[in-house]
Structures are given as structure tokens and as C-alpha cells.
């Protein structure tokens, strides 16, 4: 079994800033006032990426899609993941520009996606998304505990950080799959380099 073709890594801060924590809380309140949440924004990306991939793959082959679209998609995923990592207490620096991304993401585009197979991922991705949602609910409790640790000690415990990082890693792999950058189904794992699962079946 070969490692999964999407990797995610990020460096744990030695110290967290209480000021950064306050800014996070203000940002979350602002999103709430606008009727938005991080979960809702992730769901939008989860649904839009297959539509984008289908539109770009219509009348084009996979090699062209990988060559022309994959670099921008990976850069966007890294920036998106860095913002979520900041909100999620995985890192302590908010990326303002794409060049300031904190999360390091590597994707090896593979497979032969088509417009039809891209749209099927709207359904195929839901099992992983449902498990991620449940783990994310548990992660909310871990996040609250980590907030308390930052307030008291300006530090997040290793176990809590590993869990929160694992959530981010899972979410990035799922979005890369939704974008048709890889054909193999994202592993149900928090590990940094799990083995790839067998190729997912999709409609022609």
C-alpha cells in the first residue's frame, strides 16, 4: 500500500498569544452575526469544488485539468487550511495573503477524473463528511479545553493539538478528493501518512 497522495503538516507554536485568542473570538462572533460559521463555509467548499471540477473537466482531459488547475487549487487549499488552522488553535498566526499560509500541503494529482465522476463526488464524499462532522463536534470540546489552556498557560497540550491537527488533515484530504485532484477515497485517519485506500468507484 502506498501513502495517501495528499499530505498536511503544520508546526505547533511554542507559545500561544492571548491577544490572538481574543481576535479569534471576535472573528467568530462577527461570523455569527453575519449568520455564518466555519462549518457552513466548509460545506460550501465541499459542494462547490465538485461543481468547479465538473465545469473544468467538461470537454477536457484529466492531464490538462491537473496541469492547469491543480497548482491553483492546491494553493487555495493551503490558504483555506491555514485560516481554519488559526481558528482551530492549530497555529497562532493568521494568514492574510495566500503567500503567508501556515499549513504545508502537498498533493500528487492522480486518476482519470471526468465531469460525471466529479459530480458523483457530491454523494461519494458524504460518508467521510458525516464522520468528520461528528469528530468535529468532539473537536469543539477539545477546542474549548485548549482555549482555557491558552488563557491560563498560553499553551495547548500535545494530545489536544494532535487531535485538532488531525481534524484539519482529514478536512483537507476530503476537499482535495472533492476537487477531483485524487481518485482514491480519503482515509478515515488522523495520521500524517496513512496508506491509500482502494480507488473509489464512481459513475462513468
Q: Which domain holds residue 24?
A: 6-178
Residue 185 inside a domain? The answer is no
Q: What digits encode the pLDDT tens for the residues 125-149?
A: 999 999 999 999 999 999 999 999 9
What's the pLDDT at 93?
86
Residue 187 inside a domain? The answer is no
What's the pLDDT at 189?
92
More confident residue, 188 or 201: 188
- Cα–Cα distances (Å) from 21 to 16, 51, 108, in that order, read 8, 35, 34
Residue 1 inside a domain? The answer is no
Its pTM stands at: 0.90
Q: With bands split at pLDDT 50, 70 and 90, how would you rate the model's confidence at 191? A: confident
Give, as one character, the DSSP assignment of residue 99.
G
Residue 193 inside a domain? The answer is no
Q: b vs e for 114-147, b when ≥16 Cβ sit within 10 Å of the residue's Cβ?
A: bbebbbbbeebbeebbeebeebbeebeebbeebb
Residue 59 inside a domain? The answer is yes
Residue 29 inside a domain? The answer is yes
Residue 20 inside a domain? The answer is yes
Domain count, the chain: 1
> In this model, does residue 204 exceed pLDDT 50?
no
Selection from 139, 136, 121 nearest residue 186 by Cα: 121
What's the rounded mean pLDDT across residues 107-116?
94
Residue 164 inside a domain? The answer is yes
Q: With bands split at pLDDT 50, 70 and 90, how would you rate the model's confidence at 94? A: confident
What's the pLDDT at 55?
96
Whether residue 53 contacts residue 140, with contact meaning beta carbons closer than 8 Å, is answered with no
What's the pLDDT at 200?
45
Cα separation, 50 vs 118, in Å, equals: 5
Amino acid at each position: 500500500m502506498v501513502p495517501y497522495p495528499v499530505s498536511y503538516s503544520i508546526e505547533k507554536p511554542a507559545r500561544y498569544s492571548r491577544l490572538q485568542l481574543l481576535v479569534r473570538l471576535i472573528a467568530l462572533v462577527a461570523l455569527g452575526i453575519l449568520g455564518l460559521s466555519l462549518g457552513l463555509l466548509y460545506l460550501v467548499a465541499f459542494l462547490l469544488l465538485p461543481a468547479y471540477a465538473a465545469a473544468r473537466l467538461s470537454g477536457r482531459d484529466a492531464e490538462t485539468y491537473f496541469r492547469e488547475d491543480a497548482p491553483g487549487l492546491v494553493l487555495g487549499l493551503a490558504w483555506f487550511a491555514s485560516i481554519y488552522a488559526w481558528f482551530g488553535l492549530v497555529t497562532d498566526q493568521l494568514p492574510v495573503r495566500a503567500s503567508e499560509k501556515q499549513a504545508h500541503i502537498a498533493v500528487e494529482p492522480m486518476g482519470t477524473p471526468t465531469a460525471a465522476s466529479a459530480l458523483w463526488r457530491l454523494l461519494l464524499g458524504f460518508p467521510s463528511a458525516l464522520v468528520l462532522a461528528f469528530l468535529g463536534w468532539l473537536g469543539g470540546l477539545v477546542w474549548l479545553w485548549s482555549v482555557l489552556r491558552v488563557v491560563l498557560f498560553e499553551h495547548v497540550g500535545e494530545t489536544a493539538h494532535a487531535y485538532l491537527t488531525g481534524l484539519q488533515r482529514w478536512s483537507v484530504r476530503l476537499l482535495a478528493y472533492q476537487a477531483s485532484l485524487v481518485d482514491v477515497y480519503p482515509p478515515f485517519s488522523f495520521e500524517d501518512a496513512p496508506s491509500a485506500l482502494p480507488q473509489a468507484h464512481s459513475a462513468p
